[in-house]
Amino acid sequence: MKKITSIFLSLCFALSVGFAQNANETISSAIKLGNYKELSKFFDSKVELTISGKEDSYSKAQAELIIKDFFAKDKVSNYQVIHRGKSPDGAQYAIGTLTTSKGSYRTYVLTKEVGGNLRIQQFRIEPSE
């Protein structure tokens, strides 16, 4: 019985890690394509958003409109994740470089599992120095 429980728990852990990796790849792909609709599917109910020097906490719907406007004005040509990491509390982050028609930006995406799903809680797009 202990062996079955151990196998079951190991399988559950492996599946949860796989889903998180898949969600992270989908988020990165959405940014690379400038696909605000796909990206916003991962927004939490409230998202801390920093774009063009403006920083605030927005509802999922508001954040989607702001990202839509950004992607409409700054056509994405490339996105590359430079570094990924995890914090002890289970949060995950990705730092990347976003190249658009108007320049290059440093991005920071902070995600956390909410209700069994990975959700973006913080998203920053800041001009590269």
Q: Would you state the structure tokens that stand for residue 62, as one six-digit string?
A: 């508001």
pLDDT higher than 50, residue 14: no
Average of per-residue pLDDT values in the chain: 86
- pLDDT given for residue 21 in this prediction: 53
Q: What is the CATH number of the domain that holds 31?
A: 3.10.450.50
- pLDDT given for residue 3 in this prediction: 54
Average pLDDT for 13-42: 78
pLDDT higher than 70, residue 103: yes
Domain extent at residue 46: 2-127
- pLDDT given for residue 4 in this prediction: 54
Q: For the chain, what is the domain count?
A: 1
Chain centroid, CA 124 distance in Å: 10
- C-alpha 72/C-alpha 112 separation (Å) is 27
- pLDDT given for residue 13 in this prediction: 43
Q: Could you read off the pLDDT of 37-80 as tens digits, one per residue?
A: 999 999 999 999 999 788 999 999 999 999 999 999 999 999 99
